[in-house]
A = this chain, B = another copy of it.
């Protein structure tokens, strides 16, 4: 099993690629998920762990479910 740091980096980079697939900036995603832009940046860089509730908001804004998100990560 990966370390917690590796998990956060993996989650962050997936959020970033999904965000870019949707043509959204970090500010767009922050607005649509009702979270702070700096928080989105830190989560994408793996510097901060999102709670499940925050991750659900992010996934909702990206148009994917938490299930699909983690399936895509093979987690």
User: Which A residues are within 8 Å of any B CB, using their own CB?
Assistant: 1, 4, 7-8, 11, 49-53, 55-57, 60, 65-71, 73-75
Contacts and interface: CB of A to CB of B under 8 A. Distances in A.
Chain A facing B: main interface SS: helix
Contacts of A7: 52-53, 56
Contacts of A70: 65-67, 69-70
Contacts of A66: 70, 73, 75
Nearest to A54: B4
Contacts of A67: 67-71, 73-75
B75 A1 contact: no
B55 A49 contact: no
